[in-house]
Chain A
Amino acid sequence: MGFLGRLFRAFWLLRESPVGMVGVCIVLFWVICALLADLLVALSWIWHPLATVEPLLTPLSPIIIEGGRLINEVPVEEICALISGGENDGMYNCGISWLGTDHVGRDILSRVIFGARTVLIFAPLATLCAYVVGVPMGLIAGYRGGWIDETLSFIANLILSFPVLVLYILILTLVGTSTYNILLAVTFASSPAIFRIVRGVALDLRSREYIAAAQTRGESTWRILFVELLPNARGPLLVDAMLRIGYTTIQIGILGFIGLGLPPPTPDWGGMVNESRQMLIIFPHMAIFPCIAISTLVLGFNLLADGMREVSLKD
């Protein structure tokens, strides 16, 4: 059974944990939202996230659209009753702006759904990048020890002794905010933590017999690291990965919130909260829905991690 097989098994085992299953369901809900976002637009169930409808609509406002343009300030419900089935059917559409619109007139529902896509691309991708950097370093430091370990550990401590968010701000103000730079900053800031976990596991395992056996067989160092050592670290790493994706989601949200996030037109939950912060007193819906979205997604990942920990303890 390869590494991927073991990975799937870890998820499969989750079905025994109700908490984990709730987490899976929440995450899946957002994944499906992200995947189907374009389809929903194509079916004109939601607007395009950049299309402007009518600014400052409250949730559940009935609206009539005439060829993509919105007619307002008419007795909407009565007209809608006339339209449906009448001769103008098709030319006019009746609908409801479920979650209202923001100050520019973009539909909140569609921006929340498209925001799920943004966050579900960037958070796992950034976490993956951090793993790609942190895992090999942790393995080699734990396995070899000596000056490699000392140097890498010092660098890791250097980065970890600094508040994460400050680190992000400094990196991003230095290199500018763009999608690549956010990935870079997240990788830079979270790989030391991964390094520490992997190093600990490698340090613990390197004196085991099967490693000695592999060394005697004349296996290459890389093979020992990735085939013999790494699979044994999968338990803590998987749990950490789930927690970390959730945490990275928060971090990306915070970056959007303080204005260092993804460039503006991108639907980004943190950015949405920031943009509507000033109007919170009159139009709370603009900030509240993205807040609910990000909180549920993070909750999903946290429950998933919890379930995995529970299952791996039973295992």
Chain B
Amino acid sequence: MILLVARRIVNMVLLMLALSLILFLSLELDKDSVARSVLGPYSNDEARAAWLENNGYNDPLPLRYGRWVGNAVQGDFGESVIFRTEVSEIVWRRLKATMALAGLVMGIVAPLGIALGVLAGMREGSLRDRFISLTSIITTSVPEFASAPFLLVLFVFWLGWLPAVSTMADGWDWAQIVMPVLVLVLYDVGYIVRITRASMIEVMQSHYIRTAVLKGLRWRTVIMRHALRNALLTPFTVIMLQFNWLLSGVIVVEYFFAYKGFGALLLEVALAKDIYVIECCAMVAVLVAVGTQTIGDIGYILLNPRIRFANS
């Protein structure tokens, strides 16, 4: 297992290097737009060239990249062009906001998705199964930018229960977080339901479940003690992978509800070509992707006796 983690870490470092280099090169194609986003659209060419020169954008690429990597390793990601602060500071602040959002979403999606999936997969083809399957396929079909206006009109404008934006201007507010969480949960839960259901159906058809039923165990015992353990293996891995998806979904939702999080930051800096923030965000994204994947794999090994005993 240590080997797995070590290999993952090496892989992650390689990914980070490759990705950061690509991003650096991509900026090389259009340096001028960085200066333009700082100095405004009507700045003249000389001013922009001078700005680029003064801020070290004209140094040779290997030197700049080397400098960036050297600093980044020490936790210094440079200075943001549009926010005029330390990159690590703004990214960390936004990341915390998004972690709160993502944590809430995952805290609801995982238990809800698994519960519904198990309920549906217990008896394939039953009325309950059909209802849950159909509902989950409908909710996954409605993209976030479509469900957000629906829910906004319903809960905010008609019923007037919730605030329309989630800027969190006066500190944390539970009422403001409800809409973003609701939209993300609706979109994400269906996928987990479907995976859990498929996994559950497969387990329910296996011989050991049939044996358990035939030897007269209570239905509840069969499900809780025998079926669930194996049926939850796949959903666990999928849920870990879901974090990576969430990072995409969060962009739309944060943009829609003006929530000051990581996704909104990414959109902002990508549009403004604020390269150092983009680099930092990209590193965070890779870290999240590889990290959750590794946790998923380790968890799978620990939970799955077949692999666990084969290894030891």
Q: Give me the interface of A with B, judged by CB distance under 8 Å.
A: 154, 157-158, 160-166, 169-170, 173-174, 246, 250, 253-254, 257-258, 270, 273-274, 277, 280-281, 284, 287-288, 290-292, 294-296, 298-299, 302-303, 306
Task: Tell me if B152 counts as interface (CB < 8 A to partner A).
Answer: yes
- Is A163 within 8 A of B145, CB to CB? no
A89 to chain B, nearest CB (A): 40
How many A-B contacts are there with CB distance less than 8 Å?
117
Task: Tell me if B146 counts as interface (CB < 8 A to partner A).
Answer: yes
- Write out the residue numbers on chain B whose beta carbons fall within 8 Å of the beta carbon of A270: 145
- Write out the residue numbers on chain B whose beta carbons fall within 8 Å of the beta carbon of A162: 19, 282, 285-286, 289
- Is B247 within 8 A of A166, CB to CB? yes
- Is A291 within 8 A of B146, CB to CB? yes
Q: How far is the CA of A218 from the CA of B289 in the complex (A)?
A: 43
- Residues of B in contact with A, size category: 35 or more
- Write out the residue numbers on chain A whose beta carbons fall within 8 Å of the beta carbon of B248: 163-166
Q: Which of B150, B282, B290 contacts A288 (CB 8 A)?
A: B150
Q: How far is the CA of A173 from the CA of B140 in the complex (A)?
A: 28
A180 to chain B, nearest CB (A): 17
- Write out the residue numbers on chain A whose beta carbons fall within 8 Å of the beta carbon of B29: 174
Interface of A is mostly: helix
The segment from B57-65, B218-226, B227-235, B267-275 found at the interface with A is: B267-275
- Write out the residue numbers on chain A whose beta carbons fall within 8 Å of the beta carbon of B293: 161
- Write out the residue numbers on chain B whose beta carbons fall within 8 Å of the beta carbon of A253: 143, 145-146
* B249 nearest in chain A by CB position: A165
Asked if A173 meets B270 with Cβ closer than 8 Å, knowing A161-B286, A164-B248, A287-B149, the reply is: yes
Asked if A284 meets B244 with Cβ closer than 8 Å, knowing A173-B271, A253-B145, A254-B252, the reply is: no
- Is A258 within 8 A of B157, CB to CB? no
Task: Tell me if B51 counts as interface (CB < 8 A to partner A).
Answer: no
- Write out the residue numbers on chain B whose beta carbons fall within 8 Å of the beta carbon of A160: 289
Q: How far is the CA of A257 from the CA of B252 in the complex (A)?
A: 8
Q: Which of B30, B145, B282 contacts A174 (CB 8 A)?
A: B30
- Write out the residue numbers on chain B whose beta carbons fall within 8 Å of the beta carbon of A302: 137, 140-141
B35 to chain A, nearest CB (A): 16
Q: How far is the CA of A68 from the CA of B285 in the complex (A)?
A: 53
Q: How far is the CA of A167 from the CA of B97 in the complex (A)?
A: 22
B156 to chain A, nearest CB (A): 8
Q: How far is the CA of A246 from the CA of B140 in the complex (A)?
A: 10
Q: How far is the CA of A173 from the CA of B270 in the complex (A)?
A: 7
